[in-house]
Structure 1
Amino acid sequence: MKLRRFLIGACTVLFLLGSAFPGLADEKILSRWSKTNHYENDIGSELWVTASYYASEYVEALVQSEAQKNLWTADESEQYKYELLKTLNLSEYIPIFIAFDNRGPSLHMAPFNDQLTLWVGKKKLQPVDYDKRFNFKLQGKREGFVYFPRYDEKGKPILEGVKSVRFTINGGISPVTMGKSIEYIWDVADDHPEKLYAGKAAARLELDRLIKRLDKLNEEKKNLEGELDKVNAELQEIQKRVDELQRQ
């Protein structure tokens, strides 16, 4: 009974701390989706590899954290969110941010997309795009995005009904991780990225998309009009010749 009261009291304190200091709650969310693995060998070489999965709550927590840190206004926060969502392109891809801090032998990772796998259940996904700087020999720090497909070849959401995903990096990229597992697991069952697309940032993203669509349609219209002009010109030539032949 005493233990139960203690646990309830501890949870209450944590809840109150999270309410009084939003930054604590944000940090908890950030650490849930951004994970760092540390590796070292017997001669003092070390490697830190961080992988961040951009779940909806992670994006919101990241925006709030940056806003608090930089004392942003509401408009500045919306601008940051807009730029972030534009980079992530969550409507098409599953983005993962990777950061290396290598304090040992050079990393050799080219071609980088061959070193990465996102396991969604039994499905093995390869990146559709990634930061090409990862293809170069690395000593020190480097970070960037990799993008996995969000939909299969039939247009069905790959994450539909999925509880967790597992992201792996080939341990052969470094002598420090040779024979070791570089992997990260995230629980995505309650992730709903569509919730992010509300407010000013979402409206601007939709505007960007519609403007691009208008440009594409206008270009198609221009091309079709050009083709139609050619067809009309040919029709006139044919009709002219038909009229000449009929008069003979």
Structure 2
Amino acid sequence: MKLRQFLLTVLCSIFILGITSPGFANEKILSRWAKTNHYENDIGSEMWVTATYYASEYVDALVQSEAEKNLWTADETEQYKYQLLKTLNLNAYIPIFVAIDNRGPAMHMAPFSDHITLWVGKKKLQPVDYDKRFNFKLQGKRDGFIYFPRYDEKGKPVLQGVKSIRLTINGNVSPVTMGKTIDYIWDVVDDNPEKLYTGKAAARLELDRLIKRLEKLNDQKKELEGQLAEVESELQQVQKRVEELQRQ
């Protein structure tokens, strides 16, 4: 009897430690931002569509989860975070990752940008960029990033003051979802991408940005120097002609 109680105590302890461990917490966060819809029709065709909103909380959890699984050092973790943030480009875009598993008739989605919309309040946003593989006929699996603008034409953040966003994919891209709408909703009121830009990864990203800015400024400098040289040449010609006329 005592042995049984001891084993139950051990199992309960393992269970409690499991659900309170960082790894479990990370997985819970990841599953909250990655949403999967399943569809099927009357003839047995099925399709799964997963959409993942890369919230700051999700990115943090993803970095920590990958670090734990791969037993990375602090430097390796920062390198992964740097590459991830560079891909996401959260300073300019709202990235959403879409994964499709189509086990039915071929899907035709070209141009994909015409079939996917991000609703931010009453604003209807279309992608500024996306994985062009979505334009090809699809049977089986395919995934890729879709990028929506983070700022409007006046430079104002589109998510400012917004509580939730909704991603909509036209169901007519597949016979399995014909006549339906594929929707995903996320609560973004507490999302703050700026929190991610700390540490070595953030410093490297800033360095990348500054190097690009330097290159652009140097190009502008060369262009202006060329214009200045032309002006100085013309000034010399005009001055020379003025002196010639004054001597007559």
CA distance in 2, matches of 1:100, 1:47: 7
Report the residue type matching 2:87 in the other structure: T
Alignment of 1:45-56 (within 5 A): 45-56=45-56
Equivalent residue, structure 2, for 1:79: 79
Q: Report the residue type matching 2:59 in the other structure.
A: V
Shift in Å at residue 16 of structure 1? 6.0
- Per the TM alignment, residue 15 of structure 1 is displaced from its structure 2 partner at its CA by 8.2
CA drift at 1:18: 4.2
User: Which residue pairs with 1:141 in the alignment?
Assistant: 141
Query: Whole-Å Cα distance in 1 between the matches of residues 152 and 205 of structure 2?
Result: 24
Amino acid at match of 1:94: I
1:39 match: 39
Q: Residue deviations 1:154-204, cap 9 Å, x none?
A: 111110011100000000010000112211000000111100000000000
Match of 1:242 in 2: 242
Structure 2 residue 237 is the aligned partner of structure 1 residue 233: no
Per-residue displacement from partner, 1:96-125 (whole Å, max 9, x unpaired)? 001111111111000100001101111111
Within 2, Cα distance between the matches of 1:238 and 1:48? 74
For 1:191 and 1:18, the matched residues in 2 are separated by: 24
- Residue matched to 2:103: 103
> Post-superposition shift, 1:14?
9.2
Counterpart of 2:58? Answer: 58
Matched AA of 2:215:
D
Instruction: Work out the CA distance in 1 between the residues paired with 2:155 and 2:19.
Output: 40
- Aligned-residue CA RMSD (Å): 1.4
Q: Which runs of 5+ in 2 are unaligned?
A: 1-13
Give the count of matched residue pairs: 235
- TM-score when normalising by structure 1: 0.92
Cα distance in 2 for partners of 1:80, 1:162 equals 30
Instruction: State the SS of the aligned residue for 1:217.
Output: helix
For 2:65 and 2:44, locate their aligned partners in 1 and report how far apart those are by CA, in whole Å. Answer: 34
Which amino acid in structure 1 is aligned with residue 72 of structure 2?
A: W
Residues 116-155 of structure 1: CA deviation (Å, up to 9, x unaligned): 1101111111111111111111111111111111111111
Within 2, Cα distance between the matches of 1:66 and 1:133?
A: 26
Deviation (angstroms), 1:17: 4.6
- For residues 141 and 17 of structure 2, what CA distance do their matches in structure 1 show? 38
Task: Give the match for residue 112 of structure 1.
Answer: 112
After superposition, give the CA deviation of every residue in 1:193-230 in whole Å (9 maximum; x if it has no partner): 10000000000000000000000000100110011001
Is 1:209–2:213 an aligned residue pair? no
Between the aligned partners of 1:146 and 1:104, the Cα distance in structure 2 is 23
CA distance in 2, matches of 1:119, 1:236: 60
Q: Distance in 2 between matches of 1:216 and 1:153?
A: 22
Distance 1:110 1:15 in 2: 49
* Superposed displacement of residue 44, structure 1: 1.4
Aligned residue identity for 2:183: E
Distance change in 2, residues 1:121/1:245 (3 Å): same
C-alpha distance in 2 between matches for 1:224 and 1:139: 54
Measure, in 1, the Cα distance between the counterparts of 2:179 and 2:137: 20
Deviation digits for residues 13-71 of structure 1, max 9, x if unmatched?
9986543x211111110011111111111111111111000000000000011111111
**Secondary structure at the counterpart of residue 50 of structure 2:** strand
Q: TM-score if structure 2 supplies the norm length?
A: 0.92
The aligned runs of 1:160-199 (5 Å cut-off) are 160-199=160-199
Partner of 1:90: 90
Residue 162 of structure 1 aligns to a residue whose secondary structure is coil
What SS does the aligned partner of 2:155 have? coil
